[in-house]
Amino acid sequence: MNIKNIANVDNETAKYIKLETERQKNMLEMIPSENYASKAVLEAVGSVLANKYSEGYPRKRYYQGNKYIDEIELIAIERAKKLFKVPYVNVQPYSGSPANAEIYLALMKPGDTLMGLTLSYGGHLTHGSPVSMSGAVYKGVLYDFGEKGKIDFDELEKLALKVKPKIIVASTTAYPRIVDFAKFAKVADKVGAYLLADISHIVGLVIGGCHPDPVPYAHVIMTTTHKTLRGPRGAMIMVTQKGLKKDPDLADKIDKWVFPGLQGGPHDHVTAGIAVCLKEAGTVAFKRYVKQVVANCKVLASELTYYGFDLVSGGTDNHLILIDTHNKGINGRLMAIGLEEAGIILNRNWVPKDEAPPFFPNGIRLGTSALTSRGMREKEMKKVAAWIHKAVEAMKTLEFDYKTWVDIAYGQKKDPQKRKRLDSTFYNLISICPDIKKTAQEIKNFCKRYPVPGIDF
């Protein structure tokens, strides 16, 4: 990836692109919603297709000069149809949030009931949260886990029978277990609801045969393209045969709400990137990659359990792990900051029954998709777990009162100004901690053996 021309025109921006490149090369990227796109995908996204404007759909554009753009979009559509075995695909959504909104607008009226997983139990803002459009325009009714840290479908059915939702969303963003689409479909069919499978996190696993396929059970499927699919930042909406059987006009309704309902012209360079990543996802190599992602995650989970980390639901079946940080005595936000200083990038996250607000949650979320893209396998996951353990143990030795921080951050003595001062103290202590600095250097040296896909400078 050559940025010489950027440097010639805008050295300030080029400087930070270079620094971000170095950051990605020298740190362990473990945020489950991030991955590395291939050089081919990056070339497509950075191509001359960014110059074009293409309102409408292939062969039905409102602008001239789209005959080649049409072919690219049709390639992406046909590849998705073949991979997922579905009759309809729209590849124009800008990202997952507008894609979900477009589905809701096509299938519901304002005030209709939408059922999705509670945010603190691993759901997404767009699945009915009151702070998003999905909960403001529609009546969001949220379900959560059972006592064993997994979805309780008996309780889900009781709730659905009570509220009679128009759509049930089968999806998670921080659920480390298999999503049972068959059980979701049983509930949705019983109450006459549409079943929307948002597979943004697990799409690569579905394609690779490492997760059950939602196509036989869902009416509509939405996925982003940049997580386990390793594509550009975009999204796709698919309608299944089951969906068309329930409503023969379903595809047309969605098309109209994507454009002109919510979006203008598609991002043609991103469409090309989606086409490329779908070609890559149809290979044997991609299936091997996905299997390794899951194998790596299971080993990482086992090792973290050995080091005393409290894993939500006790383990993982997919590409991610959710850790409840209570037993380590360190809030998830502080732990994520400390781990970043040590060279490990993950994200703070709510955990079930979390008493903290979302900005200061008591959990961290991590996964193996990006590390696996760099060629890491099971033995490397053992090293990663050891580094995480070492960094957290180093945080415990700091002259820092974690309990007071919690009380000031969101407890009875809440004081934003004092909390900011304590934050500064924590940052300073972390930055000079010998064990943290040593771990960061070890990780930097380690990362040199595993090149980042798409980076060649």
State the DSSP H helix or E strand holding residue 28, giving kind and residue range, or none if neither.
strand 28-29
The residue ranges of every structural domain in the chain are 45-281, 292-447
Our CA angle for 422, 425, 428, nearest 5°, is 155
Query: Measuring CA to CA, which residue among 327, 325, 321, 343 is closest to residue 335?
Result: 325
A 10 A CB-CB count for 345 gives 18
* pLDDT of 456: 64
* pLDDT of 391: 98
Choice among 198, 324, 341, 354 that is catalytic:
198
Please tell me whether 124 is known to bind a ligand: yes
Enter the pTM of the model: 0.94
Contact 347, 364 (CB under 8 A): yes
* pLDDT of 370: 98
Query: Measuring CA to CA, which residue among 323, 312, 303, 311 is closest to residue 364?
Result: 323
Is there a catalytic annotation at residue 175?
no
Query: Measuring CA to CA, which residue among 341, 332, 450, 327 is closest to residue 390?
Result: 341
Choice among 34, 43, 55, 189 that is catalytic:
55
Is there a catalytic annotation at residue 224?
yes
* pLDDT of 149: 66
Give the position of tokens 């393209």.
Answer: 225
Please tell me whether 125 is known to bind a ligand: yes
Where in 113-198 does DSSP place strands (E)? 113-117, 139-143, 167-170, 194-198
* pLDDT of 123: 76
Contact 188, 194 (CB under 8 A): yes
Question: Hey, what are 331's tokens?
Answer: 């809030």
At residue 208, the 3 state secondary structure works out as coil
Give the position of tokens 């390639």.
Answer: 75
**Domain 45-281, CATH:** 3.40.640.10
Strand ordering across the sheet containing 320-324: 310-311, 320-324, 363-367, 347-348
Please tell me whether 119 is known to bind a ligand: yes
Please tell me whether 398 is known to bind a ligand: no
Supply the angle between the helices 153-163 and 181-191 in degrees, to the nearest 10: 20
Question: Hey, what are 243's tokens?
Answer: 């969906």
Fold of 292-447: Aspartate Aminotransferase, domain 1 (3.90.1150)
Is there a catalytic annotation at residue 227?
yes
Choice among 224, 228, 271, 368 that is catalytic:
224
Contact 333, 304 (CB under 8 A): no
Choice among 18, 61, 233, 444 that is catalytic:
233
Is there a catalytic annotation at residue 59?
no
Choice among 227, 298, 328, 419 that is catalytic:
227
41 Cβ contact list (under 8 Å, min separation 6)? 230, 231, 232, 273, 276, 277, 280, 454
Distance CA 308, CA 306 (A): 5
Give the position of tokens 């598609």.
Answer: 266
Residues of the chain short of pLDDT 70, as ranges, are: 1, 146-149, 456-457
